[in-house]
Amino acid sequence: MCGIAGIVSKKALNSSILLKMSEKMSHRGPDGEGFTLLENSKFIPYSGIQTPEECKNRDLEFSPKSVLAHHQEFNTAFIHRRLAIIDTHHTGHQPMCNQDASIWITYNGEIYNYIELRAELQKAGFSFKTQSDTEVILAAYQLWGKDCLNHFNGMWAFAIADLNQNKLFIARDRFAVKPLYYYTDDDVFMFASEQKIILHSGLLKAEVNPEAVFDYFTFGEIEYQTKGFFKSIDELFGGHYIETSLSNPKIEPQQWYNLNYVADNAEKQDFSVDKISELISDAVKLRLRADVEVGSCLSGGLDSSAIVGYMNKHLQGKPFHVFTATFPGLDVDEGHWAKLAAENTSAERHESHPDRQGLILDLEELTYAQDIPIWSTSTYAQFKVMKLVNELGVRVVLDGQGGDEIFGGYHPHEYFLMKGMSFPERLKYMLSSKEGNLFGFYAKQKLRFDTAFKLPNSLSKGIFSKYFKDLSFLNKDFYNAYPSRFTAEFHPAGNNLNERLSLEMQNTSLKAFLKCEDRCSMWHSVESRTPFSDDHHLIEYLFSIPGREKIKNHQLKYLLREAAGDYIPEKIKNRQDKQGYTTPNKKWISEIAPEFKEIFNDNLSDYLNVDLLLAEYKQFFGKDTPIAENRMFKFLSFAMWHKVFIAEFADK
């Protein structure tokens, strides 16, 4: 797990750019620093001030012999910051090359099946000098070319420079667990693990992409398009790669992976709960591979409790650490559930206690760490948990992110299950509910996911404006500038449950959650592993099962409850009060808002009706409705993001 970056430039650049970019992503890799520069048709490795002495002057082709000097000219370079997890010695140093130094890589992530792949590659004639998964990627690329991606089980973003073919090959994992962003113009192509690292190169200005801001406020979408909040920076989507000339890059991302699924009404497939349990178990076991200690996040919900239960199975009574955010005395506190789950295992439990005062003090740091505005204060709770993980010296944690998207865990998923039914089946299903009004629920979700975006733009806008009163606090011209974004083209909903889940899995909502997960963990130099988000054997098996099997008798995540039943307490298995990663969001917003009034200024007037917002400031942030609770924090988050990255970034 690391931070990576690279530059290919037609003009000579100064190495001070590389040194600054490396410094600014040291949080992603405090254990090592490496550079390689293309000089006279060869890559030459260099060390930096944070390169361990044991990595220098070794008899390895990628071992640096010289320190990268300030004001050294270059055109093409890779940067690597290392968080040492597998092969923690000098043999894991990066950028790494193959044995004749013709192919170089800078890589972030984990290929969990690297041991099996190494054995397969050895049979094909490859030999290895290290115990790293990085060297396995290099050999796999040499043998299979870009098809190597189909052999990997894990999370990754990497760049390979192939001098034999004058090729640059950049690839990202199937479901966007590990990040990769890039910038390109007529003279330079640049990539990095985080947007801020590209900005710190000084080769472009931090400018707002108003379309991303519009989608954020209007639809609550974060990075659903390749161009995010920064105008000139693009994201390489999950399941995509770039293959281009090393000397003259032309950036045309290509998709290499797409998640297939069966429809909800497909003929009954052969599947078993035992097989699902076996696949979950295998996914967790693979993600326990590390040369450092592995713990887990534990909220007390079904997903994280299942992960901890399977960890306990594989660790066979060996103690391990679990980490929970708790809010003693508040309704949202789930500490008792986490305690129940932990007591079912040999886990040692640790609690973080995020509070509003901490949020006031940390909001600017949290925003800088995240790179972009965020959805809610739940990200802060995650941020504080990862800080605690770091403080206790644990380098790796597992997390349950992705469980809702593969098993059907959100309440609107029941709408998509009903949507895939025939009318008589749907009517029977609604009448079978013992709780709530499913007819009203169905109508509300139909308006939300389908009807609104199929109406004329003016009507669709009217529905959003009436439903989300806070949109009146946007600049009127700004809100009226993007009518085409109120269309189904921008918001495909899905015609049944599995189709909906596949949309959530690929470059939309799950990707945004994983982005927060990555930034929270890596800011504190912690690797977060998510078995439900990237084990493609488990994921593909679940999408071969009709959606109607995933929600049974109005019970969400039915298959996970049944599969993991032997590894979690009965009370957690039967929980129906799903909260998610919940914080006292409404309470915090109303209490912290007065501390941030000054950041709502004329700098935001292109996007917000600042005068109206300030005139009604107390009432605005004191709204007491579920819709307001879920949306008010976005205004605070955006204002702080604009302050940090647009108004003041040059001073960072």
Q: Tens digits of per-residue pLDDT, 109-125?
A: 999 999 999 999 999 99
Asked whether 556 and 413 are in contact (CB, 8 A), the reply is yes
The radius of gyration of the chain's CA atoms, rounded to the nearest angstrom, is 25
Decide the pairing of beta strands 294-297 and 396-398: parallel
**Torsions phi, psi for 320 (to 5 deg):** -145, 160
Residue 436's pLDDT band (cuts 50, 70, 90):
confident
Residue 167's pLDDT band (cuts 50, 70, 90):
very high
Q: For the residues of 401-424, what is the DSSP string, one character each? A: TTHHHHHT-STHHHHHHHHTS-HH
Rounded mean pLDDT of 130-159?
A: 98
pLDDT of residue 502: 98
For residue 459, the one-letter residue type is L
Task: Say which residue, 626 or 355, is predicted with more confidence.
Answer: 355
Asked whether 15 and 70 are in contact (CB, 8 A), the reply is yes
Strand 294-297: give its sheet, edge to edge. Answer: 347-352, 320-325, 294-297, 396-398, 527-529
pLDDT of residue 460: 86
Task: Look at residue 510 and tell me whether its pLDDT is greater than 70.
Answer: yes
pLDDT of residue 332: 86
pLDDT tens-place string over residues 528-571: 999 999 999 999 999 999 999 999 999 999 999 999 999 999 99
Percent above pLDDT 70 for the chain = 98
**Whole-number Å distance between alpha carbons of 152 and 535:** 10
- CATH architecture under which domain 273-408+499-573 falls: 3-Layer(aba) Sandwich (3.40)
Please count the CA atoms within 13 angstroms of the CA of 251 that sit on its side-chain side: 19
pLDDT of residue 98: 97
Rounded mean pLDDT of 474-481?
A: 95
% helix / strand / coil in the chain, to the nearest 5?
Answer: 45, 15, 35
The torsion defined by the Cα of 416, 418, 423 and 427, in degrees rounded to 10, comes to -150
Rounded mean pLDDT of 303-320?
A: 97
Residues 6+ apart with CB under 8 A from 456: none
Alpha helices (H) along 392-482 = 403-407, 412-419, 423-431, 438-446, 452-454, 457-467, 476-479
Residue 628's pLDDT band (cuts 50, 70, 90):
low
**Whole-number Å distance between alpha carbons of 152 and 140:** 9
Residue with tokens 């113009």: 185
Nearest partner of 350 among 302, 393, 402, 289, judged by Cα: 393
Task: Look at residue 202 and tell me whether its pLDDT is greater than 90.
Answer: yes
Q: For the residues of 590-649, what is the DSSP string, one character each? A: HHHGGGGGGG-SGGGTTTB-HHHHHHTHHHHTT--SHHHHHHHHHHHHHHHHIIIIIISG
Rounded mean pLDDT of 291-296?
A: 97
Domain ranges of the chain: 2-108+157-202+231-255, 273-408+499-573, 421-494, 585-651
pLDDT of residue 652: 60
**Torsions phi, psi for 132 (to 5 deg):** -90, 155
Alpha helices (H) along 200-331 = 210-219, 273-286, 302-315
Rounded mean pLDDT of 179-186?
A: 97
- CATH architecture under which domain 2-108+157-202+231-255 falls: 4-Layer Sandwich (3.60)
pLDDT of residue 632: 87
pLDDT of residue 616: 92
Rounded mean pLDDT of 384-406?
A: 98
pLDDT tens-place string over residues 568-595: 999 999 988 766 667 888 889 989 999 9
Task: Look at residue 268 and tell me whether its pLDDT is greater than 70.
Answer: no
Task: Look at residue 175 and tell me whether its pLDDT is greater than 70.
Answer: yes
CA angle 421, 427, 433 (to 5 degrees): 105
Residue 249's pLDDT band (cuts 50, 70, 90):
very high
User: Across the chain, what does the average pLDDT equal?
Assistant: 94
**Torsions phi, psi for 162 (to 5 deg):** -105, 100
pLDDT of residue 532: 98
Residues pairing with 430 in the sheet: none
Task: Look at residue 184 and tell me whether its pLDDT is greater than 90.
Answer: yes
Residues pairing with 78 in the sheet: 6, 36
pLDDT of residue 627: 65
Rounded mean pLDDT of 283-299?
A: 97
SS3 label, residue 435: coil
pLDDT of residue 578: 65
